[in-house]
Structure 1
């Protein structure tokens, strides 16, 4: 089953990084967040990726063209131009890098990939979110309910500490930045049937608006509840949180 990753946005809230590189190439633990996302899928046996490029897509292309040189030591024979990678660790991934336009919206980017996706069930996620979600369980759930679309529902991380207070104003508990237990949001990690693409009109279509709203109105969308770790990387603060977890060897999404 193919994995589509939306990696073409401008990432304006991460301008400290994205003035130079696209958001999916912002590093956590010395590796692009895109690499982390792909490893989540690959750890569950899904290693065929289609990456929808847009803003600074050439940076992502260059990364994969030079993947082994970037991620291993090497020797260059300047006499004949030969390159020998030292302690090379082969990665069994097939990665298609497709330019879907600079200003194309999320739905439009997905629609442009129709010929590469084909007529099979596929997965879709964003190029800026990680989780310890069990991909196999999401797929099994999708197959069981038989609908057109499955979205992984997650609890967003709280921005501030949570206090539980009694009527007498005693603090009964204090949790530092817990995941909220109120409300679910779209966490990506979709499983979709190919006919979902027919709900997308044009490049200007936003995935989260018309297509997903139509699928829901048709009774063709179910949600898979993931109540464990999930974190997007919208801001520098988000990126620093992920970096801190990685550096402390406490990264829940590192399932490989």
Structure 2
């Protein structure tokens, strides 16, 4: 089963780095968040990737073109006819198709534009800026059993800002706390499974947004499922998010890191 990754957005909320590279190429540790996502899927046996590029997509293409150089020791022997030797090269079991889906194209149109690479088969679908420890096998099993066109992973993130605890009688702040997950509703955390029938709801027009008309229509028809995930999920929208993810990574506490080095 192929995995489609949406990796073409501008990443304006983390512009400190995204002015130089697409957001999926911003690193957690020494590897792009895109690599972390792909490693996670690979651990469940999903190794055929289609990456929907847009903004600075050439950076993604160059990364995979030189993947062995990024992941290996290299000897450059200039005295021997400028020979290059790659040592202990890392061979991922991946097949990666990188597609330029347009600079300003919205998510629905990006997916529609890679239809020819997917064919008439179900596929995984996610965003290129979020990591999780969602059970992909359980997600897929529920999707197959449900008969839905799309099953998305629902998450309940805590609030970005602290909540004030008040003594209402005296208008006094008596404490601070993080917004609890239970205080909010479910949101789409990505990590979706889709039937090829989804393409009927999409358009190549760059204004087609997956999360608007296509998914809203499926919801009205009762054909949009949700797999509830109550454990770790984190997107990387801001430098604060990046710092949090890197802290987890460097302290070896990253919940999405299920592979062995």
* TM-score range relative to shorter protein: over 0.9
SS in structure 2 at match of 1:158: coil
Deviation at 1:77, TM superposition (A): 3.7
Match of 2:145 in 1: 144
Say yes or no: does 1:200 pair with 2:202: yes
SS in 2 for 1:83: strand
How many positions carry a matched residue from both structures? 255
Correspondence for 2:31: 31
After superposition, give the CA deviation of every residue in 1:56-111 in whole Å (9 maximum; x if it has no partner): 00000000000010111112343345432112221111000000011111110000
Q: Which consecutive unaligned segments of at least 5 residues does structure 2 have?
A: none
Normalising by structure 1, report the TM-score: 0.93
* Corresponding residue SS for 1:141: helix
Aligned twin of 2:64? 64
CA contact (8 A) 2:158 2:178 kept: no
1:218 Cα offset (Å): 1.2
Shift of 1:164: 7.4
RMSD: 2.2
What residue is the counterpart of 1:252 in the other structure? 255
CA distance in 1 between counterparts of 2:247 and 2:56 reads 27
Contact map agreement 2:73 2:88 (CA 8 A) in 1: yes
Provide structure 1 residue ranges, at least 5 long, that are not aligned to the other structure: none
TM-score, scaled to structure 2: 0.91
2:42 alignment partner in structure 1: 42
Which one of 186, 197, 200 corresponds to residue 184 of structure 1? 186
Paired residue secondary structure (1:196)? helix
Shift, 1:241, TM fit: 0.8
SS at match of 1:188: coil
The change in CA–CA distance for 1:253 and 1:173 in structure 2 (over 3 A counts) is: farther
Q: Cα offset for 1:23?
A: 0.3
SS of residue paired to 2:246: helix
Name the CA distance, whole Å, in 1 between partners of 2:180 and 2:36.
23
Distance 1:24 1:225, change over 3 A: same
User: Take 1:199 and 1:68, find their aligned partners in 2: how far apart are those partners?
Assistant: 39
Q: What is the aligned partner in structure 2 of residue 135 from structure 1? A: 136
Aligned-partner SS, 1:95: strand
Deviation at 1:127, TM superposition (A): 0.4
Aligned mates of 2:94, 2:31 — CA distance in 1:
16
**Deviations 1:173-207 (CA, angstroms, capped at 9, x unpaired):** 98667645531100000100001011012221011
